């Protein structure tokens, strides 16, 4: 059977999950493999705002940043055929999980606190982890967000798995979900 993943008009693959779970790295890799366009909502927010994420947080606060993320999902994502990596908090505010799910097949990546801590060290795009004790911040945010992440998409655990292995796992999940989705859609004449 021909892979659904390589078709331009197939549903978007959307990667959600906490900071440092590898959404962008995996998204780029899958987009290359499937010859699809890749979008990163953090980059789209920066374009929309004309400012860096750090500056948006510093000058306008988190609420404004979340409003920009919503705008990106509502208006700037293609309807299909793309691979999209979401900012770590994008699916958390009320209604955002549902909105994101209406735009494609959502896979949520998970990783241990140690892995997240290692991967997020010293990145200015992550103002929420700034300060003396990023580990405590990660634990606290993770606890608050866990339910939202579980609800947003199909969970994939990334610890101890290479990028290559994750590509295979997510591809399998995507293929299964995309086929089910296409089957459930009424056929157009
Ligand atoms: C955030 C995650 C970041 C970025 C912003 C807020 C969050 O994206 O959107 O700093 O609330 O978890 P990454 O997950 O790409 O680091």
Residue nearest to atom 15 of ligand 1 (CA): 87
Domain assignment present for residue 106? The answer is: yes
Rounded to the nearest 10°, the torsion over CA 178, 181, 186, 188 is: -20
Look at 91-95, 129-133, 141-145, 167-171 and tell me which has the smallest mean pLDDT: 129-133
157 CA distance to ligand 1 centroid (A)?
18
- 36: domain CATH number? 3.40.50.300
Ligand 1 binding pocket includes 113 (Cβ within 6 Å):
no
Rounded to the nearest 10°, the torsion over CA 179, 182, 187, 189 is: -90
Atom of ligand 1 nearest to the CA of 23: 15
Q: How many domains does the chain have?
A: 1
Ligand 1 binding pocket includes 126 (Cβ within 6 Å):
yes
Residue 183 has pLDDT above 80, yes or no: yes
Q: What is the pLDDT of residues 125-155, one digit of tens each?
A: 899 999 889 999 999 999 999 999 999 999 9
- Structural domain of residue 133, as residue ranges? 4-184
Domain assignment present for residue 76? The answer is: yes
Ligand 1 binding pocket includes 137 (Cβ within 6 Å):
no
Domain assignment present for residue 33? The answer is: yes
What's the mean pLDDT when you consider all of the chain? 94
């Amino acid at each position: 059977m021909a892979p659904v993943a390589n078709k331009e008009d197939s549903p978007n693959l959307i990667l959600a999950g906490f900071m440092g779970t590898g959404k962008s790295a995996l998204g780029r890799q899958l987009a290359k493999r499937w010859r699809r366009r890749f979008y990163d909502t953090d980059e789209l927010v920066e374009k929309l705002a004309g400012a860096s994420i750090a500056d948006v947080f510093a000058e306008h606060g988190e609420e404004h940043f979340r409003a920009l993320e919503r705008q990106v999902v509502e208006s700037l994502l293609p309807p299909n055929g793309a691979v999209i990596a979401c900012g770590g908090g994008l699916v958390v505010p009320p209604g955002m999980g549902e909105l994101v799910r209406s735009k494609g097949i959502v896979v949520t990546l998970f990783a241990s606190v140690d892995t997240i801590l290692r991967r997020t060290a010293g990145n200015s795009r992550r103002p929420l982890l700034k300060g003396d004790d990023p580990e405590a911040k990660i634990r606290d945010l993770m606890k608050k967000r866990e339910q939202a992440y579980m609800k947003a998409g199909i969970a994939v655990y990334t610890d101890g798995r290479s990028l290559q292995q994750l590509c295979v796992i997510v591809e399998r999940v995507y293929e299964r979900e995309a086929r089910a989705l296409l089957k459930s859609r009424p056929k157009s004449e």
